Every structure is written in C-alpha cells, then in structure tokens.
Structure 1
Amino acid sequence: MTRLETLRPDLQQIAGWIRDGSRVLDLGCGDGALLAWLGEHKGVRGYGVEIDVDNIVRCVANGVNALQGDLEAGLSAYGDASFDQVILSQTIQAMRETERILCEITRVGREAIVTFPNFGYWRNRWQILAGRMPVSETIPYQWYDTPNIHWCMLGDFEALCTKNRIRILERVVMDGQRRVDFLPNVRGSLAFYRIGRQGRS
C-alpha cells in the first residue's frame, strides 16, 4: 500500500485523524489493514484486538501486532491514557455494554475515534416505512442474523457522550465516499466522531 486512497473510504477518514508517530489501539481491527497502513505511512505504533481467529492470522500476515480478545470483557488490562488514540470502528452498535465501552475507550486513550452506521439515514427510514428492517451497505445483515443490537442516530450518540462527560472534538458524516454537511442525520449513512474525556488535555 502506498497511498491513502488504497484504504476503504471510511478507513481513509480515520487515518486522517491519526497523528504521526502516535500509539494506537484498534479494537475490532479486522485484518489489520488500517494499522498496517498507519505503521508504514505515519510511523504509528499500532496494536489490535480482534475476536475472529482468521482475522488474527491476517493481521500477523500484515505485520500487525494483534491479540484475540472479546471487547465485552473490558479493557482493564490497559492503564489510563496508555494510548494516544483508540479506534472503535463500526463496532459499538454490536456491543452489549455500549456505555461501558465508550467510557473505557476514553479512559484508555487520550482520544478515541468511534464510527457507526447512522440508523437515521433516509434509506433506512424508507425501508422501515415500507415495513422492513433496513439492509444496506453499512447495515448488511438481515434482522434475524445481525450481530447489531443497539442502533442509534447522531443525537443519541451525542447525548450519551454528554451524559458521560465526554467531549466531542470533531464529527464527520459520510454517505459512501461523499462527506455530508447538510442534514447529516438524514443524508449520512456513516458517522465518525473524535472524542475525549472532559478535563483531559
């Protein structure tokens, strides 16, 4: 991989928020493609946690340090602010303990990056009006086999951050490869948040 454009559009947005030379923890890191790119192009010291054994094998093949682990077990093994940035990409909606993991990633990381499918996206609303649960590029499962259990919209996530004294440092909403600024909760399919603990510099 030589250019940012070689990453998926959502990973490009995340990579743009990662600072050169930082220490990064990617929770649910998949095959390690993002961490591999960050290590090669931004000098990042990256570590991944992934539950799927096949993805752990792919991480190793990509030269990424990754451990098999279940995020529901928590992050007690990591100290406060032990990473510059923690990434939780398209995973929070599948967590049973959503509030706890949100608090944990902002404890372990000086900053955190959270992305999730926006349930308020107009195509999702349209499918609900038509009497069906939404299925789309960002929500690819049928209602009966989905791992996703906690759907939310932009306002829901922001309210949860406020409740837990978490600062929203930056927000980007996208639809495919296009950034959405006008009516993002209706026109955007994927939300990106850069967040941090209040009172932490």
Structure 2
Amino acid sequence: MSAVLDAYETLAQRADFRAIARWVEARASVLDLGCGDGALLEVLVRELDVRGYGIEIDDADVAACERRGVNVIQQNLEDGLRLFEAQSFDFAILSQTLQTIHRTAEILRETVRVAREAIVSFPNFGYWPHRLAVLRGRMPVSESLPYQWHNTPNVRVLTIRDFEALASEVGFTIVERVVLKDTAPISWGANWRGSLAVYRVRQA
C-alpha cells in the first residue's frame, strides 16, 4: 500500500506527470529523455507496468534513478539518439526537458524516429505573469519557471504558439494537447492563461 501511495504522491508533485500518465498505455515501452531523478518512470513502471528507460546526464540524477530501480543510460541528449533503432519504443517523453536543450528541432525529430509517439511538456513563457514580469523589466520567476536568470538550466524560452509552429515545421501531427494553469486544465486563452503545456504528437 505504501508503494502505491508513494506513486500517487509523486504524480502530485508535477502537474504534467498526471497528463503524461493518462496518455501512456499499460505495458508500453517508454523512453524518458532527460528523465531527471527517475520519478516519472518509477510511477509509469509501477502503475502501468511499462518497460521504461531513461536518458540523463547529471551524475546525481543518474544515482537517484539507480536508487529507484529505474533503468537509466548516462548520456547527453545533445549527442542525439543514435543508440536506438527506429521505432524502438511506443512512447518517447520530453517532460520539461525541451527548454534545456540547444538542438531543439533535431531532438524532436529524433523522438518520433525512435518512438511511435512523443509526449512533450514545457513551461509556457507566454503565461501572463511571465509577460508582466518582462514588461516590468525582469525575467520571470514562477512555479513553472522557478529559477533566476543566472542559475537556470533553461537555454530556451518558448510559448505554446512557438511550439505548435515548430511542430508543423518538423512534420509533427498534434494528437492531443492539455494546457494547465498551475494544476487545472484550461480550455480557452491557452497561450496567455496557461503556465504549462503538454502535447502528444506523432510523425505526420
């Protein structure tokens, strides 16, 4: 029972985890790109019996994955996914990782090369408090963008409209989208009211 409770507590920690877990099929094969400490994969393995593998570069996060019993490969995503053959996985996940990589379009193309579908989440820079912070002359700090400008791991900032334009450019079909304001889904004014976006995409 405690293991199940731990899993649900982990889901509660990140709003995008809940959306991702709803889209991943039971017993699917999953590649989590930039998997961090392995929390999402641990939940997916435990709750959906997926065959999961993570890619992570940070030493401390790799060690955390190993403590959780998560399969992890220590590798820099910027080097690509040449280790994996085409369509090796059912799902490839970029959970709040997209904004931390330089080779954005190339990595997105790689996700749908190695997997049938990709799930991508990212903080929306178009969220109205972020816009207001910039108008006031400061870079935004919020729950979805919790770092100061000088210590952030993010190398990109993007809006919902930016992602959808790039998705079209790289040849993606958007299958589903959930936009969250904090933890609650919203249905209108997504690009200025949403703090976090989650997409399910596949090759067009």
TM-score between the two structures when normalised by the length of structure 2: 0.93
Letter aligned with residue 188 of structure 2:
F
Please state if 1:131 is matched with 2:133: no
- The separation in 2 between residues aligned to 1:106 and 1:45, in whole angstroms, is 18
Please state if 1:43 is matched with 2:49: yes
Equivalent in the alignment of 1:2: 4
Equivalent in the alignment of 1:149: 155
Please state if 1:191 is matched with 2:197: yes
1:83 to 84, 89, 92: 89
| Runs (5+) with no aligned partner, structure 2 | none
Please state if 1:66 is matched with 2:72: yes
- The separation in 1 between residues aligned to 2:122 and 2:199, in whole angstroms, is 9
1:11-40 superposed Cα distances (whole Å, 9 cap, x missing partner):
111111110010000011111111111111
Letter aligned with residue 76 of structure 1:
R
| Runs (5+) with no aligned partner, structure 1 | none
SS at match of 1:46: strand
Equivalent in the alignment of 1:102: 108
- Between the two proteins, what is the percent identity of the paired residues? 48
1:145 is displaced (CA, Å) by 2.2
- Are the equivalent residues in 2 in contact too, given 1:5–1:12 (CA < 8 A)? no
Letter aligned with residue 77 of structure 1:
L
- The separation in 2 between residues aligned to 1:99 and 1:40, in whole angstroms, is 32
Letter aligned with residue 4 of structure 2:
T
- Are the equivalent residues in 2 in contact too, given 1:90–1:114 (CA < 8 A)? yes
Equivalent in the alignment of 2:38: 32
Letter aligned with residue 138 of structure 1:
S
Equivalent in the alignment of 1:11: 17
- The separation in 1 between residues aligned to 2:183 and 2:165, in whole angstroms, is 27
Letter aligned with residue 81 of structure 1:
Q
- The separation in 1 between residues aligned to 2:47 and 2:147, in whole angstroms, is 33
Query: After alignment, is 144-153 or 103-112 more displaced?
Result: 144-153
1:5 is displaced (CA, Å) by 3.5
What RMSD, in angstroms, separates the aligned Cα atoms of the two structures?
1.2
- The separation in 2 between residues aligned to 1:132 and 1:61, in whole angstroms, is 39
1:163-198 superposed Cα distances (whole Å, 9 cap, x missing partner):
121110001000221111110111110010000001
- The separation in 2 between residues aligned to 1:192 and 1:10, in whole angstroms, is 7
Equivalent in the alignment of 2:175: 169
Letter aligned with residue 48 of structure 1:
G
